[in-house]
Amino acid sequence: MGLNKEEGMGKVMDKKSFKKAESVVANVVNDWDPYCLLEQGCPEDDFVFEISMVVGQIDNIKSEETAAEVISQIFSKQFEPEYFSVKDCMDVGTRLYNHLKDAGIVG
């Protein structure tokens, strides 16, 4: 049997914690909008799959750099690896880590 999205890749997250993490990650990723899709009027759910994948990796986010690594791995796999190196993802990784930390989800 497969994992449900609340289970992600690490420990099981209760639904409330999952929704909180999902909201924080969605806000950061949608604000980042790497392909300017939202800016062009695309629906806000364009990155829902990638957002869910990031939430599934929350246990691996221990710093700004590990947040950048998670973003890099997921977006490189889903899109074009040459645009999503860890270095390219450091700004969004820093924002992600800080927002998750402020929300009491990590750190």
Q: How buried is residue 86: exposed, middle or buried, by Cβ count under 10 Å (0-12/13-18/19+)?
A: middle
d(CA 94, CA 96): 5
pLDDT one-digit tens code per residue, 14-34: 999 999 999 999 999 999 999
pLDDT one-digit tens code per residue, 52-76: 999 999 999 999 999 999 999 999 9
Rg (CA), the chain: 13
Tell me the domain boundaries of the chain: 15-102
